[in-house]
C-alpha cells in the first residue's frame, strides 16, 4: 500500500462513504424537497468510474466502504458494482463493504448483497406507524420495508435501524422502536436532525429533538451501560441491560464528534466532501475522466484530503440554524 491518507489534523482517513445516486423512491422530509430536480445521467459517475475511484481510495488506506444514495439500490445495475467490490474483501485490502438503505428494495436484493460480501446494513426507519411513515417519507410503503427487513435477516445480514429523532413526531415511539429491535435482534441508532438543504416548509429547530433528552427518557425505562466500542462511524453506544441490545447515538449538535473523524464522502458526481457539515468540496470526476485511475488521480485525492477541516459548525443553541449547508442530504449521501 502507498503512504496512507492523513488529514491536516493527523487523522487517518480509513472510511469512505460513496453516494451512487441522488435518486430515491421516497421523499423524506428532512432529506429531500417534495419536488426534487435530479441530476442528468451524464453528470453521474459510471459504475466503472465508481469502481476505479473506490479502488484508488482502498489503495490509499481506506478500509471501510459504505454505499449510500439517495437510495443506492434504485440505481440500475448497482449489484454489478457490489460484486466488483467483492475482490477487495477477498484480497484483504478492504475490511468491510456495507450500505445504508431505506429498505424498500431489500426484499429483492438482500440475497445478492450477502453473496457479494456485505455482512451488515443500516436501514433508515423513523417510525413503525404506517400513517406517520407515509407522512415522513411522503410516499409510504411501510409493509414493503418491513418485508425487506425480513429478507435481509433471512439472508444473514446484520441489520441496524437508523432513526432520525424528530420532535413531536417519533418521541412517543422511543420505547416501541427499542422493543421492536430487541425482539428482532437488531441494533438501533438515533440521529439528531441536521441543518441540511433548503429548509422550505421544514422547520429544523421545530424538528430538533436533543439526544440528551432522548437518552434521559430511555434511562427512565432501561439501565444504560456505556460501551467503548465503535464501528468506524460517529455513533456512541450504550447497552440496555434488560435486553442486551445496543443503542447508538449520533449527536452532531449536542456532542460534536469531529475530533475522531476518519471519513470523507464522495457523491455520485465525483465531488469529494471532506466534511458533511461544510460546503468545501473537491472535484474528482474531472481528474478521473482526464487521467484515468493512477498517480494523477491519487494526487487529486491527496490534495483534497489536505483541505479537510477540523470540524463542522452545526449549532441550534441560539434558536437559529447556524452552520447550515445548502445541499440536501440526498446529494452528499447519508
DSSP per position, 87-119: HHHHHTS-SEEEEEE-STTHHHHHHHHHHTT--
Report if residue 7 sits inside a domain: no
Could you give the C-alpha distances from 23 to 7, 28, 66, 134, in angstroms and in order?
31, 12, 17, 18
pLDDT (0 to 100) of residue 152: 98
pLDDT in tens, 264-310: 999 999 999 998 666 689 999 999 999 999 999 999 999 999 999 88
Binding-site annotation: residue ranges for GTP: 17, 66, 100, 160, 263-265
Residue ranges at the known binding site? 17, 24, 28, 30-31, 66, 70, 100, 124, 160, 194, 258, 261, 263-265, 275
The answer to whether residue 1 sits within a structural domain is: no
4 CB-side CA count, 13 A: 12
pLDDT at 180: 98
| d(C-alpha 174, C-alpha 196), whole Å | 24
Which pTM does this prediction carry? 0.86
Non-local (6+) Cβ contacts of 131 within 8 A are: none
5 within domain boundaries: no
Residue 98 lies in a domain: yes
Would you call 208 helix, strand, or coil by DSSP?
Answer: strand
| Residues contributing to the annotated binding site for S-adenosyl-L-methionine | 30, 70, 124, 194
The reported pLDDT for the residue numbered 199 is 43
Place of cell 481528474: 287
Annotated binding site for [4Fe-4S] cluster: 24, 28, 31, 258, 261, 275
Instruction: Answer yes or no: are the C-beta atoms of 59 and 1 closer than 8 Å.
Output: yes
Q: Kindly report the CA angle at 66 between 13 and 149, in degrees rounded to 5?
A: 150
Strand partners, 325: 196
User: How many whole angstroms separate alpha carbon 163 and alpha carbon 296?
Assistant: 40
Average pLDDT, the chain: 88
Total number of domains constituting the chain: 1
CATH code at position 202? 3.20.20.70
pLDDT averages per 10-residue partition of the chain, 334 residues: 86 96 87 78 95 98 96 97 98 98 97 98 97 91 97 98 94 97 96 62 63 95 92 83 94 64 94 82 97 96 92 47 47 55
**Is position 10 within any domain?**
no
Q: Which domain holds residue 44?
A: 15-332
Domain-located, residue 278: yes
pLDDT of residue 314: 44
Q: Are 264 and 16 in contact (CB under 8 A)?
A: yes
In a domain, 159, yes or no: yes
Amino acid at each position: 500500500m502507498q503512504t496512507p491518507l492523513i488529514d491536516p489534523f493527523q487523522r487517518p482517513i480509513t472510511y469512505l462513504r460513496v453516494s451512487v445516486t441522488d435518486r430515491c423512491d421516497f421523499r423524506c422530509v428532512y432529506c429531500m424537497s417534495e419536488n426534487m430536480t435530479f441530476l442528468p445521467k451524464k453528470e453521474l459517475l459510471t459504475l466503472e468510474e465508481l469502481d476505479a475511484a473506490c479502488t484508488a481510495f482502498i489503495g490509499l488506506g481506506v478500509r471501510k466502504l459504505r454505499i449510500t444514495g439517495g437510495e443506492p439500490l434504485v440505481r440500475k445495475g448497482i449489484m454489478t458494482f457490489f460484486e466488483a467490490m467483492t475482490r477487495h474483501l477477498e484480497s484483504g485490502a478492504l475490511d468491510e463493504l456495507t450500505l445504508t438503505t431505506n429498505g424498500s428494495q431489500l426484499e429483492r436484493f438482500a440475497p445478492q448483497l450477502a453473496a457479494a460480501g456485505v455482512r451488515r446494513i443500516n436501514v433508515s426507519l423513523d417510525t413503525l406507524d404506517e400513517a406517520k411513515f407515509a407522512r415522513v417519507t411522503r410516499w409510504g410503503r411501510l409493509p414493503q420495508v418491513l418485508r425487506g427487513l425480513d429478507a435481509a435477516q433471512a439472508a444473514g445480514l446484520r441489520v441496524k435501524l437508523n432513526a432520525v429523532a424528530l420532535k413531536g413526531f417519533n418521541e412517543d415511539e422511543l420505547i416501541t422502536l427499542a422493543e421492536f429491535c430487541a425482539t428482532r435482534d437488531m441494533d438501533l441508532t438515533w440521529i439528531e436532525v441536521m441543518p441540511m438543504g433548503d429548509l422550505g416548509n421544514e422547520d429544523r429547530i421545530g424538528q430538533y429533538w436533543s439526544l440528551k433528552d432522548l437518552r434521559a427518557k430511555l434511562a427512565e425505562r432501561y439501565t444504560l451501560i456505556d460501551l467503548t466500542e465503535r464501528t468506524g462511524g460517529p455513533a456512541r453506544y450504550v447497552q440496555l441491560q434488560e435486553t442486551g441490545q445496543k443503542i447508538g447515538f449520533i449527536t452532531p449538535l449536542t456532542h460534536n464528534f469531529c475530533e475522531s473523524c476518519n471519513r470523507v464522502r464522495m457523491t455520485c458526481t465525483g465531488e469529494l466532501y471532506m466534511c458533511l457539515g461544510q460546503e468545501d468540496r473537491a472535484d474528482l470526476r474531472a481528474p478521473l475522466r482526464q487521467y484515468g485511475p493512477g498517480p494523477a488521480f491519487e494526487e487529486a485525492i491527496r490534495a483534497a484530503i489536505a483541505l479537510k477541516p477540523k470540524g463542522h459548525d452545526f449549532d441550534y443553541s441560539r434558536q437559529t440554524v447556524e452552520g447550515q449547508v445548502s445541499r440536501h442530504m440526498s446529494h452528499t449521501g447519508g
